[in-house]
Amino acid sequence: MAIDYHKLKNWAFEPVEQSYDWRYSAMYALGVGYGYDPLDTRQLPFVYEENMVAAPTMPVVLASPGFWVKEQNSGIDWVKVLHGEQSLTLHKPLPVAATVVGELKVTHLADKGAAKGALMVQERKIYNQANGDLLATLEGVTFCRGDGGFSEQPNNGPAGGDALPPAKPACPTTAPDAVCELPTLPQQALWYRLCSDLNPLHADPAVAKAAGFKAPILHGLASYGLVGHALLRTLCDYDASRLQHLGLRFAGPVYPGERLRVEMWHTDLGVQFQAKVVERDMLVISHGLAKVGSPS
């Protein structure tokens, strides 16, 4: 069954409300590696309630509608979807504790052809319920591998679907200007899933092996948060207010316990970056671009 272009583009998502406290903020921060050195006083504010600060990448787990593509009337072959890219733009500092509201819409549907699948872009805006402030805008790209060819059907959107937003830039091939290595702990995915995705792929060895992995893998958005942590550490001296934008492409899985090496370049576009797993010398994050503000 082909996806219905007009139905998805006009899907009326209900706003999602979520209340969280400092414990949730600390759990998220622990899940993406803050506090790995408990004596580093720069990391402590993200995991300790005294003078606490929220990790700037936390909007990725706030006020989400969950895995909505699994709903029967979405028309999407949900078994074959992959999370391809993720971007986050921060408009205001994220509160440590708040009630937030998330509003989601499908902004783009591109048809790559029956044999190549489709690309769906979703935008989620996060608002502070107390004052209506827009806190963050998220954009995610989903690769719908089983849904190509939809635009070949009559009255199912423009030929080829929508034109996609500009592609994320590839990283330079020169030596990086800065490098940061961060550890992941063997229990990292078990921590992270408590404030995010409960998919057993990230917890149950039998499920992971059935999916073709040697062990449970880290969530893609946990890798996203770890990279954000590395950038905040290296470029901002842990000043969360300086991180303005973080976008990247997922390129491979990370196993809990592996070490991430984040390579960074200062370019006219901003800070471009990629990440590799040290133990396997494997690229797991590519096409990264961050925008960082000046110290206050």
Tell me the residue range of the domain where 244 lies: 178-292
> Other CB atoms closer than 10 Å to residue 248's CB: what's the count?
25
6 catalytic? Reply is no
Q: Identify residue 289 by its one-letter amino acid code.
A: L
Q: Identify residue 149 by its one-letter amino acid code.
A: G
Question: Does some domain include residue 87?
Answer: yes
Q: Identify residue 61 by its one-letter amino acid code.
A: V
Look at residues 219, 195, 164, 190 and name the one whose alpha carbon lies nearest to residue 64.
195
As a whole number of angstroms, the distance between CA 72 and CA 4 comes to: 12
Over residues 57-69, mean pLDDT: 94
**pLDDT, tens only, 269-296:** 999 999 999 999 999 999 999 999 988 7
pLDDT bracket for residue 132 (50, 70, 90): very high
Same domain assignment for residues 148 and 183: no
Q: Is the pLDDT of residue 1 over 70?
A: no
Into how many domains does the chain fold? 2
Q: pTM for the complete prediction?
A: 0.94
Return the exposure string of 15-42: e unless at least 16 CB atoms fall within 10 Å of the residue's CB, then b. ebebebeeebbbbbbbbbbbebeeeeee
As a whole number of angstroms, the distance between CA 238 and CA 249 comes to: 23
Phi-psi region of 291 (alpha: psi -120 to 50; beta: other; left: phi over 0): beta
Question: Does some domain include residue 133?
Answer: yes
Same domain assignment for residues 16 and 144: yes
What's the Cα-to-Cα distance from 75 to each of 34, 142, 255, rounded to whole Å?
Answer: 39, 14, 32
Same domain assignment for residues 13 and 56: yes
202 catalytic? Reply is yes
Q: Active-site residue among 4, 111, 202, 219?
A: 202
Same domain assignment for residues 270 and 131: no
Q: Active-site residue among 147, 197, 219, 287?
A: 197
As a whole number of angstroms, the distance between CA 178 and CA 192 comes to: 27
**pLDDT, tens only, 188-247:** 999 999 987 888 889 999 989 988 899 999 999 999 999 999 999 999 999 999 999 999
Question: Does some domain include residue 158?
Answer: no
